[in-house]
Structure 1
């Protein structure tokens, strides 16, 4: 669609803004860099952790292996559990069995140290990440003040799933108990929640009046609900994202439906922001639109 109205909400503890990072990044304060890496090395030896070093100075060890599991690919949705601790053993945050976290992988949506660690973990595996402060929460107090600035951290994680866009869509349909009426080769699913076989078909050149709302697949609220008003859609002019317009043409006047499609038919790699500058739609986001066709002329 064109207008966005709701910020993308993510878990505040581990989310960062969509800004670029470089693997070569080193904290400009050399003392902090040395302190962190020394502390982490000492901690690993003291606790008998056979760690391996990866990007950003992160050290990791797989504590439960699943060699046949899938490694995450860019834009996969990660479903994981975590416990965050200081190196003195103090637990400062936890996402346990019933509070799994979901984040896109490889898009700088997470802490740099988490991105680096998850690149080495397969579905079904558990791991420990020891992350220097400059690749974790940095030079500010974090986690409600529980974590002082410039503090290296330990993440104990379980990676439940790494879902592709298609898998995310299938999971969304299953969770909502939808029955797909039409599956197109481009990945668009049309789900008719109210069929009107006698309704007039929609064709290019018409202006279609609709009610609609658009959501991310895990959102509890839409990013755009049309403000409760109807919207006029001129078909065939390319004024709207392809998944929305193509899906709309699979409905008839009077019908209601849900249009679900991959990011290739939506906003692709583009980040969409709301009116106050928050991320409303991250890159590589499959979308779902609930639509009611009111009339066509």
Structure 2
């Protein structure tokens, strides 16, 4: 089973959206099963994309949002719902009318205040990305709609461009503390091969592979083992990010914590490496738990991740 911080976030969005749909209805007679509406919206979106010859799209595993990348950015996606983002977009109904409902922009707005579909995609798409987003109504404006947008309307956000993602001052301070702790830890070792990446992670490549190198959305089969920077002699087991850890995992860099989003893209097929990841690019203030709900990586923990890349497919 493959899970990540973003996937937990997806589950939370599902719960929040279902609650929101139920709470805004007037009476039991008005209740519409949101799952039925979601499936209806997905069918509408898929039929439209097929009719228009829109192929090569990707989707989010939980929300089933489809998206077509026109330009892939290079900077990290938003970290959390507290991140402030700026973006441009045009929004159409599906199937589209002749003119957009709205053509506007988001300016330095906290991600958690925006529609669920934007929250999901801003935490998945690198800053600088331009994409068309096909969003079911459950993750857009739900049963109530907004302005001219009617309720239960799936939407196409065309040329959705993520311009910036700004972390909070508290996250900035934590990041400085974390990177200092990692550098101090590494300077206490005898390593001569440490690379300090501009993103804040550090890493050592112990075996250099010669195969393909993954990008954000490549399929990567790899093994991973976690340790805490403060306890580097013991592997942390049963982390839901990768479970079971002893097995290989086939997924995309973009589906994991940001330290692995970055780290996996530094390695070629056949490589082995160790990454030193500040908490903000790891499990952040949430930490990580196991299936029993027990915290195995505390909040704001810097982590060490040993990686072996088995295979890469584009």
Q: Which TM-score band (shorter chain)?
A: 0.3 to 0.5
TM-score computed with the length of structure 2 as normaliser: 0.41
Structure showing greater radius of gyration is 1
